[in-house]
């Protein structure tokens, strides 16, 4: 409450402050009329001439409950009529041929690591074949299977072949890289059985 000496609102602070008060409305019931007789505070008692200045007000609060919004992905899904995504990948690592010999004694001990690259950049391993000893033309015939949610879309299948030299350490730590191959999963649609013969590249795709 201020003592307004002018007929216009002043923002220069030249009105005298007569006191202030506040009300906690957090527990108010919607639509209920509330009467308050409040003591004004914030001024010296001598200015109030020994009396406690008071302010009477009437307040009615109207509340509205707003539901919490759904997660953004749920909002997106509910806004589209049809959405296609890759939910499952099924394949088989059959064999490799004419691999490089990375061992001084005997031949390479190849192992194939299968990973998917997701839309968010994650590289996720989904299968690791058995190690075949001393063989430059290994045959694995091992299947792999992975499922995905709508918010973790796979983009690429990556195959890394390694010479595994240690029975206790992963091939990528103990051996040498023998080659990599990549399949874009869009090339695998629509979902029918396909056979891919891939050329191995010299540089590893494992990062």
User: Along the 207 residues of the chain, how does pLDDT read in single tens digits?
Assistant: 877 776 666 655 556 778 888 998 888 888 899 998 888 887 765 555 667 788 899 999 988 888 888 888 777 777 776 667 788 999 999 999 999 898 878 889 999 999 999 988 899 999 999 999 999 999 999 999 999 987 788 999 999 999 998 888 888 888 889 999 999 988 888 878 888 888 888 755 454
Instruction: For residues 178 and 112, give the distance between their C-alpha atoms in angstroms, rounded to a whole number.
Output: 10
Which pLDDT score, from 0 to 100, does residue 207 have?
45
- pTM for this model (two decimals): 0.58
Q: Please state the three-class secondary structure of the chain as a single string.
A: CEECCCCCCCCCCCCEECCECCCCCCCCCCCCEEEEEEECECCCCCCCCCCCCEEEEEEECCCCCCCCCCCHHHHHHHHCCCCCCCCEEEEEEEECCCCCCCCCCCCCCEEEEEEEEECCCCEEEEEECCCCCCCCCCEEEEEEEEECCCCCCEEEEEEEEEECCCCCCCHHHHCEEEEEEEEEHHHHCCCCCCCCCCCCECCCCCC
Task: Give the tokens for residue 170.
Answer: 């992963």
Which pLDDT score, from 0 to 100, does residue 203 have?
54
Which pLDDT score, from 0 to 100, does residue 111 have?
95
Residues 196-199: contacts with CB under 8 Å, at least 24 apart:
198/159
Of 184, 97, 81, the residue nearest 139 (C-alpha): 97
Q: Around Cβ 105, how many Cβ atoms within 10 Å?
A: 5
Task: Give the tokens for residue 126.
Answer: 């989904």
Which pLDDT score, from 0 to 100, does residue 109 have?
93
Contacts of residue 25, Cβ cutoff 8 Å, sequence gap at least 6:
59, 61
């Amino acid at each position: 409450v201020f003592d307004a000496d002018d007929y216009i609102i002043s923002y220069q602070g030249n009105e005298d402050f007569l006191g202030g008060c506040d009300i906690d409305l957090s527990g108010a019931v919607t639509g209920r009329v509330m009467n308050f007789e409040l003591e004004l505070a914030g001024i010296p008692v001598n200015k109030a001439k020994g009396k406690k200045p008071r302010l009477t007000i009437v307040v009615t609060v109207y509340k509205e409950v707003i539901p919490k919004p759904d997660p953004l992905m749920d909002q997106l899904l509910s806004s589209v009529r049809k959405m296609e995504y890759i939910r499952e990948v099924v394949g088989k690592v059959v064999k490799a041929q004419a691999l490089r010999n990375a061992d001084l004694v005997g031949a390479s001990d190849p192992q194939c690591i299968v990973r998917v690259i997701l839309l968010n950049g994650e590289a996720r391993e989904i299968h690791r074949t058995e190690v075949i000893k001393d063989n430059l033309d290994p045959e694995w015939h091992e299947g792999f299977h992975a499922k995905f949610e709508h918010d973790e879309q796979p983009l690429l299948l990556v195959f890394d072949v390694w010479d595994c030299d240690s029975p206790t350490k992963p091939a990528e730590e103990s051996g040498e890289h023998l080659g990599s191959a990549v399949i874009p999963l869009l090339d695998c649609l629509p979902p029918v059985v396909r056979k891919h013969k891939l050329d191995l590249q010299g540089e590893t795709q494992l990062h």
